Amino acid sequence: MNVKTMAQYAAEGKEPEILFWVGCAGSFDDRAQKVTKAFVEILNAAEIEFAILGNEEQCTGDPARRAGNEFLFQMVALQNIETLNMYNVKRIVTACPHCFNTLKNEYPALGGNYDLVHHTQLLQQLIDEGRIKMKEGGSFKGKRITYHDSCYLGRINGVYEAPRATLASLDAQLVELKRSKQNGLCCGAGGAQMWKEDEPGDKRINIERSEEALATGAELIAVNCPFCLTMMSDGVKAKEKQDEVMVLDLSEMIVQNLK
């Protein structure tokens, strides 16, 4: 895919409309890379001028701070802020709620002030403005879909409606989980839990959450976060339901229904 970097725009003396912050998962995880590609297809379809940082993008430092390594967090955060400010970045979109939360709420204290948009919010905006057109009766029409609120987008940043409005454009039947919105249950990977062994207990959190999702009778579990994508997919596999129930990011669903 031909995606321009901020350095290429700067060389042309231009500034893109928005910076797409890809994130570690979106860059390196095979499954999350599919989400990155789907989102880029949508941005291209909407004719949005966007760029990525490419090799100049580092981890936001979120896992380091959550795990207690404040020094490492501040070190990478300050390097990122220096890069972003050098390119005069104003608006950032990201498909990872962890990157979204850190850039939006934690970078300002270190001198990084940006207008942050999560990809589900941008998707809703593009659909509402008619910048992307959806097929009538697309591949998800009438399907039972349940949506998992990620902690960092939901409870921490209060973004509940944008993802649901995006799902509504697919003409699917949304079935809410028993624990949703401000009462949502973590998939088990947030707060740097992704990088450590399970603590002693009777059941993994992602199994509990996947059981809740499967109990709705949904054919598809929609997520908005690469960590949630991994944890929910693993949970569905553990229940041997991967052939019956799909786990997809919202951008993957929208890209299938583009005109």
In a domain, 233, yes or no: yes
Answer yes or no: is pLDDT of 138 > 80. Answer: no
Q: How confident is the model at residue 259 (pLDDT cuts 50, 70, 90)?
A: confident
Q: Enumerate residues 6+ apart whose C-beta is below 8 A from 159.
A: 118, 120, 121, 153
Q: How many CB atoms lie within 10 A of CB 139?
A: 11
What does the pLDDT read at residue 199?
A: 85
Where is average pLDDT lowest: 35-49, 68-82, 137-151? 137-151
Return the CATH number at 36: 3.40.50.1860
CA distance 241 to 247: 11
For the segment 218-257, what is each residue's pLDDT rounded down to a tens digit? 999 999 999 999 999 999 999 999 999 999 999 999 999 9
* Confidence band, pLDDT 50/70/90 cuts, at residue 175: very high
Q: Is the pLDDT of residue 135 over 90?
A: no
- 119 and 141 in one domain? no
- For residues 28 and 115, state if they share a domain: yes
Burial class (CB in 10 A: 0-12, 13-18, 19+), 158: exposed
d(CA 223, CA 204): 19
- The pLDDT, as a whole number, for residue 109 is 98
Question: Does the structure show a pLDDT above 90 at 194?
Answer: no
Best CA proximity match to 39, nearest among 55, 50, 30? 50
Look at residue 1 and tell me if it is in a domain.
no
Radius of gyration of the chain (CA): 18
259/256 Cα distance (integer angstroms): 9
Kindly indicate the confidence band of residue 197, based on its pLDDT and cuts at 50, 70 and 90: confident
Hey, how many other C-beta atoms are within 10 angstroms of the C-beta on 3? Answer: 16
85 and 139, same structural domain? no
Model confidence band, residue 171 (pLDDT cutoffs 50, 70, 90): confident
In a domain, residue 128? The reply is no
Residue of 259 and 73 predicted with greater confidence: 73
Range of the domain at 49: 6-123
pLDDT at 18 over 80: yes
Which residue shows structure tokens 């409005």?
165
Is it the case that residue 137 has pLDDT exceeding 80?
no
The CATH code of the domain that includes 229 is 3.40.50
Question: What is the Cα–Cα distance from 241 to 219, expressed in whole angstroms?
Answer: 10
pLDDT score recorded for residue 49: 96
Same domain, 146 and 104: no
- 1, pLDDT greater than 90: no
Domain count, the chain: 2
Tell which of 123, 151, 171 closes a domain. Answer: 123
Q: Worst-scoring range by mean pLDDT, 55-64, 131-140, 160-169, 171-180? A: 131-140
By mean pLDDT, which of 1-10, 71-80, 194-203 is the weakest? 194-203
Which of 71, 97, 123 is a domain's end point?
123
What value does the mean pLDDT take over residues 123-149? 90
- Say how far apart CA 256 and CA 18 lie, in whole Å: 23
Average predicted confidence (pLDDT) for the chain: 95
